[in-house]
């Protein structure tokens, strides 16, 4: 039975929003808290939104083999710590990873049984509007993320499940269906 769910797709597409909705519908799911070298945004809490690490600490943990996957994204490093996954996988607790595409590929290689869902925007223009509307990134950072997004969108055919996040309620229903089917349940 699939117990690891990888939700990937470009920044600003709505991964975080969809995952929040998914976890309300499927309370048995637990979220893997990623590590990053980027600075916390206002309101983000260490250990809750991310494990915020210094560059030295992150690189040291890479050398020690503490990551299941890690990648550089827009000039920062991000990664999934083994400690976020191992016990849950052992205990059969379903866990959700919200990661970018390079990391998703590494998880595919290491854990082919993990279920991977690519969240796609209805258009690049909509992605831009969402990134700007979120208000967390300045104009330079928005452009940088959109530049990365073009390459990420080209990776869509690698994924068995693609959910277009056009209308949020429809995308959430589709994502919930995929997860429920993999957990052997009917979507709530
Ligand atoms: P990600 O986690 O993929 O970077 P977010 O979940 O932060 O993306 O969403 C980016 C922005 O887009 C947020 O302001 C969110 O409210 C908005 N958003 C998410 N889904 C939709 C949607 N279907 N239609 C319009 N706006 C959306
Ligand atoms: P943000 O800075 O917006 O929080 O995240 C930037 C990108 O990094 C997003 O696409 C997000 O999904 C991705 N990301 C977050 N955590 C991880 C992780 O642990 N590993 C990888 N590979 N990407 C991550």
Q: What does the alpha-carbon distance between residue 141 and residue 139 come to, in Å, rounded to a whole number?
A: 5
Q: Which residues pair with 162 in a beta bridge?
A: 118
pTM of the model: 0.97
pLDDT digits (tens, 9 = 90+) for 77-114: 999 999 999 999 999 999 999 999 999 999 999 999 99
Q: Which of 3, 10, 19, 2 is nearest to 118 (CA)?
A: 10
* Each residue's pLDDT tens digit, 8-49: 999 999 999 999 999 999 999 999 999 999 999 999 999 999
Pocket of ligand 1 (CB under 6 A): 11-17, 130, 133-134, 165, 167-168, 171
Q: Is the CB of 119 under 6 A from ligand 2?
A: no
């Amino acid at each position: 039975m699939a117990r690891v769910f990888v939700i990937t797709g470009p920044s600003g597409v709505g991964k975080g929003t969809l995952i929040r909705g998914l976890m309300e519908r499927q309370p048995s799911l637990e979220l893997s808290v990623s590590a990053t070298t980027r600075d916390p945004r206002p309101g983000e809490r260490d250990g809750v939104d991310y494990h915020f690490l210094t560059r030295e600490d992150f690189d040291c943990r890479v050398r020690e083999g503490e990551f299941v996957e890690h990648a550089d994204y827009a000039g920062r490093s991000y990664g999934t710590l083994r400690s976020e996954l191992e016990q849950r996988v052992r205990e059969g607790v379903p866990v959700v990873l919200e990661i970018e595409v390079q990391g998703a590929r590494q998880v595919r290689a290491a854990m082919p049984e993990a279920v991977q869902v690519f969240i796609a925007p209805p258009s690049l223009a909509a992605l831009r509007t969402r990134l700007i509307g979120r208000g967390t990134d300045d104009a330079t950072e928005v452009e940088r993320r959109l530049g990365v997004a073009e390459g990420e969108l080209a990776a869509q055919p690698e994924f068995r499940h693609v959910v277009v996040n056009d209308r949020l309620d429809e995308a959430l229903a589709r994502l919930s269906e995929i997860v429920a089917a993999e957990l052997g349940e009917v979507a709530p």
